[in-house]
Amino acid sequence: MAFLASFMRILRRVRSSDQGVLVLLAERLSPRLAHFCLRPLLRDTRKDPCHLVFQRFLDEVNGAPGSSVLEIGSRARSGNIYTEFLSKSVKYSGMDIIPGPNVDWVGDAHELSTCTGGETFDAIFSISVFEHLGMPWKVVLEMNKIMRTGGIVFVATHQTWSLHDRPWDFFRFSADAFRTLFNRTTGFEIVEVREGLPCRIFPLGSEASMKGMEFNREAYLLTTMIARKIGDSDPRLRWDVTLSEVLDTHYPK
């Protein structure tokens, strides 16, 4: 215990930028030490709550042969294509704002009902897209327009992540944020929402509000959600504004 106490004193004194290195070292030397300092490092994330939510979505979609599925942000930007997880009996379509591999429709998700030509779907999913939507509330309303009642939506997005694809990196989402987007008024009910891939934030400043953040503040990298369409969105909810009226930038190619 004397060693643990000494390590903790050192950890609190060193620069925040060096604390992560010390924690990694502690984990290598002693899992008990790492657990005392911070949560142990996750060596296998396959059973992380966020990934289990996606598996639940896949199980429901694959359990309904002939269902139609739309992926928003389907371009294989990072080499990830999720069609391999779908049953061959599922009718898959992919859309993205930029043409590329795995893209059937090119268009803006904020105008989803126009992009897809009025086609309706049994399920919609998007992975690492919502943080790049300038008006995610409008996209939720557009999703409702092109979904059959009873259909499901899966969204995976970041709660904590480094900035990327700027200048189109707009938001971060907690589990509570989704309750303001997918609810009875927008025509949905949340089936499950989870935060996962726990992390620690090591601030590089010394302001009082940052003190102890790396030890005492809860943080996660991902938030995932499944919602079910229960009806049309409330007609009072309208957002007749295009993205070009809000932004003068373009998604980086």
pLDDT digits (tens, 9 = 90+) for 139-164: 999 999 999 999 999 999 998 887 78
Least Cα distance to 154 among 230, 60, 88, 67 occurs for: 60
What's the pLDDT at 27? 55
Alpha-carbon span 19 to 13, nearest angstrom: 9
- Pair 84, 130 in one domain: yes
- Pair 129, 100 in one domain: yes
Question: Does 208 fall in a domain?
Answer: yes
- Pair 147, 200 in one domain: yes
- Pair 116, 218 in one domain: yes
Question: Does 252 fall in a domain?
Answer: no
- Total count of residues recorded for the chain: 253
Query: What's the pTM value of the predicted model, to 2 decimals?
Result: 0.81
What's the pLDDT at 30? 56
CA distances from residue 178 to 160, 206, 226 in whole angstroms, order as listed: 15, 32, 10
Alpha-carbon span 9 to 3, nearest angstrom: 10
What's the pLDDT at 11? 53
Residues lower than pLDDT 70 in the chain: 1-44, 78-79, 216
Taking a C-beta distance cutoff of 8 angstroms, is the pair 86, 92 a contact?
yes
- Pair 73, 193 in one domain: yes
Pairing of strands 105-106, 121-127: unpaired
- Pair 78, 152 in one domain: yes
What's the pLDDT at 93? 93
Burial code (b: 16+ CB inside 10 Å, e: under 16) for 191-225 equals bebbbbbbbbebbeeeeeeeeeebeeeeebbbbbb
- Pair 32, 95 in one domain: no
What's the pLDDT at 34? 54
- Pair 201, 229 in one domain: yes
Q: How is residue 35 written in tokens?
A: 């657990």
- Pair 196, 226 in one domain: yes
What's the pLDDT at 17? 47
Alpha-carbon span 186 to 211, nearest angstrom: 40
CA distances from residue 6 to 16, 26, 102, 234 in whole angstroms, order as listed: 17, 12, 54, 59
- Which residues form the domain of 26? 1-41
